[in-house]
Structure 1
Amino acid sequence: MKMGEMPSGFAATRKRVEGETKVQRVFPITAMIFSSVLHKMTVFLPRENKFFDLFEELADKAVEAADLLVDLGTKYSKLPQISEQLRMLEEDADSIVHRVIQGLYYDHTRVTEEKGDIRYFAHNLDNVIDGIEKAVVRLSFAQKQEVPESVTEFSPIIKEASEEIRTAVHCLRNLKSEENTLEACCIRINELENEADKVNRKRLRILMTAPVEDPNELLDRLLLKEIVEILEDTMDQCEDVANILETFRLKGGI
């Protein structure tokens, strides 16, 4: 071996390491180019329209659930029946979400990010129904002869928000012509969420500061506090749905 000459094994190792380094540097660029090309190719593929049907079906379920919540104001004696109806609605909604996920699994016309938006939207809309059902179940545990004011204040807000969601969802089929309507619905939902925040603060203040005359009332009060928080979370879910609808609008559709 001549002076200055590296052993053959060392040279081979260095060459191999340098080769790996080169591949590591090139691979991310190649992946980015491939992802960009794939996204452009999917634009020319026919899109599945079944998600419109599933979203509309899910939005209709949300309105039905909100209607039942409002009905408690005049039909409190039918609380067990209403609770059962909500349970069935919640199961139907879960089934729709499952169909959405199955549809995404076999959908090769959308990239991962678009599939994520659709899945997230379906789950958030389902959470609106879950929240209403959960609040009514908690209400059935309270020793109340009439619907609490905290519920009657929240219920019309949630009902209007669900109706705005349904209107906005029906705009997705013809987004170019219905874009302004969808935007107006999302703005109104955000306004309703702000109203719900005010109701939440007001009701929590009353529950936490009013004197307790009967020790048994304390348990009901804690339960009502939980119900108020659930209904507030439900309105937060409505706002999340509106935010995703805005994302669909910015992207030009689903």
Structure 2
Amino acid sequence: MTQVFDTKNLRKTVLDMAFSGATVHIGCAFSIIEILAVLYRNHLRFPDDTPAHPNRDYLVLSKGHGVMAQYACLHEKGWLSSADIKNYFKNGTQLKGLADAHVPGVEVTSGSLGHGFSVGVGMAYGAQRRETNQMCYVIVGDGEINEGSIWEAALFASHFKLDNLIVVVDENGFQAMGSTEEVLKLGNIMEKFIAFGFESIQLDGHNESQINDAIHQLKSKKNGKPKAIIAKTVKGKGVSFMENNNIWHYTRLSSETYAAAMAELEEK
């Protein structure tokens, strides 16, 4: 089966899940769609197309509340069925509202923010010790890096020269209860990661070409430095009434807003 990871279709799958499950976190799923599409299309290696293959690359979604975006990708890979998508967040489903390692293709149970990055650093360290060529990609939210555990893990990654680690910061400018500027100012995120010993790039998190080129560039550099991509994104990207509107962190779709969002995506 050809896997194109078309971002419009991925967003439509997210809407289907959110509407069917009467659940939330649409905006924070939409902001990482292009990042995930590029990773699954061009970079993540799964020998024999097996999600648990011992030589696979790792993808850790530390901002686990954005998991509908990852589930949409796993559905395209054929690891989740259409029935799984339809039954999202319902009784008996394996697909819960936060990333869950019981789901094929999901490496870490996350959602306790800051935790996933630490686990991803440990995975990268383990691959380094085993002398494999496995990469570990970790996606964190900008609000998530308020957590001190993020910076402890960053120190560890730099100390142990984990150049098989790429962390992608989804810098959409919001967290659950407000903008990052209002809640806790982050300053220049790229400069912070550079200060912690990371080779860092800042880019447009919805420009698939930029994302792809940056990942190729960073993973080719075996220079003893962990890597960071600071991806400037729009929370709710793709649907006009959701973009930069933090109400869609916790708002559920009605029949009317579901239809309106789907109609916008169809027009693109």
> TM exceeds 0.5?
no
Larger of the two Rg values belongs to structure: 1
Between Structure 1 and Structure 2, the one with more helix by share is: 1
Question: So what's the TM-score if we normalise by structure 1?
Answer: 0.27
Between Structure 1 and Structure 2, the one with more strand by share is: 2
